[in-house]
Structure 1
Amino acid sequence: MDRQEGRSRKRHRGQGRVTLADVARQAGVAPITVSRALNTPGRVSEAVKARVDAAVEALGYVPNLIAGGLAAAGTRVIPVIVPSLAILTFIEVIDAIQKRLEAAGYQMLLATTDWDLDREAGLVDTVLGYSPSGVILTGLRHHPRVITRLKEWGRPVVEIMEVGEDPIDMNVGVDGLALGRAMARHLLDKGYRRIVFAGSHLGHDYRAAQRLEGHQQALAEAGLPQGPVLEYAEPASYAVGARALADLLAMTPRPDAVACSNDILASGILLAASKQGIRIPDELAVGGYLGLPLAEHLSPPLTTLAVARSDMGRQAAELLLQRLEGMTPAEPVRDLGFTLVEGGST
């Protein structure tokens, strides 16, 4: 980092928005040139455009999209950015966030990333342009510029779903490695040894990949080789679960247990097993993750790792609201843990 960039970052850390004039000084051009480079790039040379883009990146500049006075004060809007609305994991969390924010007089703005960190970065740039009072993000992995901009932004940020030691600001979630270890250890304690991990969308859903890593760690700690992994590219569904059952039954030697990346996949396996007359858990034990209400109504009920999703959303909103009210939360990083709910599937 050069000295000019360092001075610029220091000057604006926690002191509000970087201005177009700041970008102009950093790039060594007039403010009107910056405006043209950003809004009508065809009107400037490639060299000038490159200098402006470098200045924007270095300073974390986000254009004002609302009136200056309101931008300075912050709107009563809280963006909540999640990977997907097609997965039930996030619905209860979002619902709890919305209810708590609305009770405090704030409105939630919802956006989805489709598991794409570049898309998340673009969404963060956009929502910051509307001067929200705070932001709630999913997970702890983000584009580096997102982390830098939000740390320097000066308003409250809460990251949800997973928990870690170095959040942007505040954090409420669960330990993915611990989840994976817990289900594997449960199956091992039950006497199962030919244990498969079945996961969906692992290349995108890195929190599910963390559960796989924890699963393999538990097998290694028990002196067993890493278990086989069934991986499906598409998001979890009951249909994918049915495919997983067919794949499990075709394996040699046949597994005696499967740990699934979520309850949706596990439920699909149980529903397909019921149709085919496969005895659960005698022929195959099945474990899940999430604690969906459906799990207890299956036959047999699903053994799962339940996470307090509504409580997670409520606490995330509470942390953000406390900061907006000028308070310093006693526990800005919160590991909510999980509960092993033992059904008849293991």
Structure 2
Amino acid sequence: MDKTDSRSRKRHRGQGRVTLADVAKAAGVAPITVSRALNSPDRVSPKVRARVEEAVEALGYVPNLIAGGLAAAGTKVIPVIVPSLSILTFIEVIHAIGQRLESAGYQMLLASTDWDLDREADLVDTVLGYSPSGVILTGLRHRPRVVSRLKGWGRPVVEIMEYGESVIDMNVGVDGDSLGRAMATHLMARGYRRIAFVGSNLDRDYRGRQRMQGHQSALEQAGFDASWVLEYAEPASYAVGAQALKEVMAMSPRPDALHCSNDILAAGALLEANRQGVAVPGEVAIGGYLGLSIAEHLTPRLTTLAVPRAEMGTQAAELLLARLAGGDPERPRRDIGFTLVEGDST
């Protein structure tokens, strides 16, 4: 990127929407050529199309899908982009966000990435075209064009679920490494030594992989074998947890404790242990993560790491609303924390 491009990006950051005319100037073509390159790319030469695409990327241009003053002012819509709309983890956060936004006169627009960062990038392009007042999205890992566009967009952005140093704007979440370490440390303190981590969909659920890495680091630092891992490609379900328990009980030697990457897997393993007559925690201990309500209704009660998901959603909405009101929110980066809820399964 040359100095002119850098100055253009700085000029537009926080000062409203980059226009089609801005793109045309940066690309050295007429506005109508930019329009053709974006809407009918076969009507322009590859060389011109490449120049336009380079200018679009450099400036963070998002096409206006809403005309006139409404687009300039921003609509009363807040897109919330999450990996899944079927997992209770996200449903509770979404519900809290929606309640707080609606109380302030805003409407939530939901979108699901299906754990796909490329799909997230496409969704961001789409929702920004409708001129929302702000955006809430999941995690701190995004495609570079998502980061560059949202940083130069000039409206509030909140990243949720994961807490970290490198953020687009504002952040409310929890540290995955700390979560993994906490459960592993608890199990070691209870006397377990062959502790297996059970995870699912970890190739796409990188926050689950962060918890696994924290788990392994804690074991290694204590001098224990951290290689006990059961990893499944499919999303978390009771069936996957049950399968993990079956596989563990067939091992020789076998783990004496299971650290499941969420309560769904842990519940499936515990229910399967009950079906097989396997004593929990006598023969195998089981720990989870999330603090789902099912944990306290299982027999034995499940030990889990509880994250205040509704509070996370509320705080994310409040950060965004504070910025929309022209304020500078206190603590724009917030670690929401977690609690070890010790049941009878460990």
Secondary structure of the corresponding residue to residue 334 of structure 1: strand
Once structures 1 and 2 are overlaid, which stretch shifts more, 320-329 or 285-294? 320-329
Task: Give the secondary structure class of the aligned counterpart of 1:198.
Answer: strand
Unaligned 5+ segments in structure 2 are: none
SS in 2 for 1:146: helix
Separation in 1, partners of 2:343, 2:226: 26
2:196 maps to: 196
1:100-111 maps to which residues of 2 (within 5 A)? 100-111=100-111
Report the 3-state secondary structure (helix = DSSP H, G, I; strand = E; otherwise coil) of the residue aligned with 1:271: helix
Partner of 1:344 in structure 2? Answer: 344
Code of the aligned partner of 2:129? G
Question: Corresponding residue for 1:333?
Answer: 333
Question: Would you say the 8 A contact 2:184–2:215 is kept in 1?
Answer: yes
User: For residues 41 and 216 of structure 1, what CA distance do their matches in structure 2 show?
Assistant: 50
How far apart are 1:128 and its partner, in Å? 0.8
Partner of 1:122, secondary structure, is helix
1:25 aligns to 2:37 (yes or no): no
Match in the other structure for 1:268: 268
* Contact 1:98–1:108 under 8 Å retained in 2: yes
2: CA distance, partners of 1:338 / 1:220: 23
In the alignment, the residues of structure 2 paired with residue 227 and residue 263 of structure 1 have an alpha-carbon distance, to the nearest angstrom, of 22
Question: Deviating runs (4+, > 6 A) in structure 1?
Answer: none
**Unaligned runs of at least 5 residues, structure 1:** none
What's the offset of the Cα at 1:190? 0.3
Question: What SS is found at the alignment partner of 1:203?
Answer: coil
Return the offset for 1:86. 2.2
Q: Is the 8 A contact 1:219 1:227 kept in 2?
A: no
Equivalent residues of 2:228, 2:255 under 8 A apart: no
> Paired residue for 1:246?
246
Cα distance in structure 2, aligned partners of 1:279 and 1:313? 38
AA aligned opposite 1:122: D
What are the equivalent positions in structure 2 for 1:115-194 lying under 5 Å apart? 115-194=115-194
The residue identity in structure 2 corresponding to 1:120 is E
Partners of 2:226 and 2:280 lie apart in 1 by 24
SS at match of 2:269: helix
Determine if contact 1:92/1:309 at 8 Å carries over to the other structure: yes
Counterpart code for 1:58: A
Partner Cα distance (1:49, 1:153) in 2: 23
SS at match of 1:53: helix
> 1:74 matched to which residue of 2?
74
Q: Which amino acid aligns with 2:34?
A: V
Give TM-score scaled by structure 1 length: 0.98
Give me the identity figure in percent.
75
CA distance in structure 2 between the partners assigned to 1:194 and 1:308 by the alignment: 30
Aligned to 2:285: 285
Question: In the TM superposition, what whole-angstrom CA distance separates every residue of 1:251-275 from its partner, at most 9, and x where no partner exists?
Answer: 2211100100000000000111111
Range with greater deviation from structure 2 (332-341 or 46-55): 46-55
Cα contact 1:194–1:227 (8 A) shared by 2 = no
For normalisation by structure 2, the TM-score amounts to 0.98
- Alpha-carbon deviation of 1:49? 1.3
Distance 2:7 2:315 in 1: 36
CA distance in 2, matches of 1:273, 1:242: 8
The number of equivalent residue pairs is 346
CA–CA distance in structure 2, aligned partners of residues 329 and 247 of structure 1: 49
> 2:220 corresponds to which residue?
220
CA–CA distance in 1 between the matches of 2:10 and 2:333? 26
How far, CA to CA, are the matches of 2:128 and 2:170 in structure 1? 18
CA deviation vs aligned residue, 1:22-69 (integer Å, no higher than 9, x gap): 111111111111111111111111221111111111111100000120
In the alignment, the residues of structure 1 paired with residue 326 and residue 43 of structure 2 have an alpha-carbon distance, to the nearest angstrom, of 45
SS in 1 for 2:253: coil
Residues 1:298 and 2:298 are matched in the alignment: yes
